[in-house]
Structure 1
């Protein structure tokens, strides 16, 4: 299956960092469904803004300028589906949209860095998550535990706070918050960072202030109101990135890890 790289998830990830006028620009590009004249002069006139504002907006999204931004925008543009009103097609299209966004967002170098940390000898890993993020955290923990990773999942907010007392330097803390608004998870990472832990946040949002206490922000795909779980399971984008991390951890000492994985399946009665 071929995936097109879209910059819509990049806009969504930086949305909270935009000014009011930049959010108007972001809304235009995220909601636009038609191919038209996207020249700076035309768009600026349509939005009653300036070409300089379009340039600043583009740079905040990580591009050199508006010309590079609009090139990427047009590259990933797709026609709206005619049958999107059907429930079944709506669900399948949503999954396809999230997978395409995930492909656009994945930073391979970042994934390798985190997988290397998880695979370090005598590495302790703590995964924090609430609600649907907690469900994904539990699944991630169960899979990595079969590889012999010393990993613990914490979904109770009181235990998150208490766990800070046992954090050691170089422990790895992975927080999961799709919205980026789970304060207890963010606070647990911040507290762990002060004790010397390596901190990773998996989220659909990215805020500049997180750089003070977060070593890595792994961006995941999202869609409006995804956290409400009305259409599909909200943990789906988290599980996608966890599977990518899992596959990269698997590359380290593959033979030993596969042998240990087989042993755990035998203990569980899955194979003989």
Structure 2
């Protein structure tokens, strides 16, 4: 078996959703560990309260012959990330997310969502916390293209605007976890009023289907939402950039852009006269 830099950690992260609860406990330890000492099967089993047999099964599930081969490659892996090379860890994490975003892009879905935006009368972007910052970024970018759009990150305004939504409205909801209470309440109200709902999330749960017309899935890594290492909204911004590109390539876009430019030129002419 041939290995490249960071292969072990990439392997663990890519298989994470397939692990059992015990295996996730083991995976979490190795993903977060930065030490190369006391990594014997006995010491790790005692520390994690699992059996050595569980460590062996975990290693084989990850594609290794056994725990000894796994730990050999793992030690080589983490030795690269000392304090002098911490920037590599950050860059590699961004690269992993970028690669994952590329694999997850659904071109037909992007075309459909872009069409929904160009044919709507009004678009509202919901986001709480750091997602609210991204909502504002979406608002500013698409407003420049002539879209009637507004960003909302206050729970009370989310409820009010959801109540005012109708069949000509589109709601873009951002929630990495897909469990933000205020967001779910808002899109539920908007959906019941006939609005189209687009959710950007890393949550693959089927319960979101009843709230949403389109779910744009984004990749995630453990503790990404906490923002300890990198921006938790990085994958959201990537997908928004892709959607933005699809939007400006729709026929309806050119009509809205022309209208916006005409309005700007008219405003500038009136300013000159004043």
Query: For the superposition of Structure 1 and Structure 2, which TM-score range results when normalised by the shorter chain?
Result: 0.5 to 0.7
- Partner in structure 1 of residue 95 of structure 2: 96
- Partner in structure 1 of residue 174 of structure 2: 176
1:228-263 CA deviation, whole Å, 9 max, x = no partner?
Answer: 222112221111111011000010136556656777
- Which of residues 217, 230, 233 is equivalent to 1:232? 230
Task: Please report the TM-score for the alignment, with normalisation by the length of structure 1.
Answer: 0.68
8 Å contact from structure 1 (residues 180, 204) kept in 2: yes
8 Å contact from structure 2 (residues 204, 217) kept in 1: yes
- Which of residues 124, 127, 130 is equivalent to 1:126? 124
Task: Please report the TM-score for the alignment, with normalisation by the length of structure 2.
Answer: 0.67
8 Å contact from structure 1 (residues 126, 151) kept in 2: yes
- Partner in structure 2 of residue 245 of structure 1: 243
The aligned runs of 1:98-117 (5 Å cut-off) are 98-117=97-116
5+ long unaligned stretches in structure 1 = 1-5, 34-42, 48-53, 55-78
- Partner in structure 2 of residue 46 of structure 1: 57
Between 1 and 2, higher relative CO (CA 8 Å, sep ≥ 6) is seen in 1
- Which of residues 80, 83, 90 is equivalent to 2:80? 83
Q: Are the structure 2 counterparts of residues 27 and 212 from structure 1 closer, same or farther at C-alpha, using a change threshold of 3 Å?
A: farther
8 Å contact from structure 1 (residues 9, 222) kept in 2: no
Q: Which of these two proteins has the greater Rg computed from alpha carbons?
A: 2
8 Å contact from structure 2 (residues 146, 257) kept in 1: no
Q: Please give the alpha-carbon distance, in whole angstroms, between the structure 1 residues aligned to 2:134 and 2:108.
A: 23
The Cα RMSD (Å) is 3.6
* CA drift at 1:109: 1.4
8 Å contact from structure 1 (residues 7, 104) kept in 2: no
8 Å contact from structure 1 (residues 201, 216) kept in 2: yes
The aligned runs of 1:155-234 (5 Å cut-off) are 155-234=153-232
* CA drift at 1:159: 0.7
8 Å contact from structure 1 (residues 9, 105) kept in 2: no
* CA drift at 1:165: 2.2
8 Å contact from structure 1 (residues 146, 264) kept in 2: no
* CA drift at 1:110: 1.2
Q: How many residues align?
A: 219
1:49-76 CA deviation, whole Å, 9 max, x = no partner?
Answer: xxxxx9xxxxxxxxxxxxxxxxxxxxxx
8 Å contact from structure 2 (residues 126, 151) kept in 1: yes
Q: Higher helix share goes to which structure?
A: 2
Runs of 4+ in 1 over 4 A off after TM superposition: 6-12, 21-33, 79-82, 254-268
Q: Please give the alpha-carbon distance, in whole angstroms, between the structure 2 residues aligned to 1:215 and 1:11.
A: 29
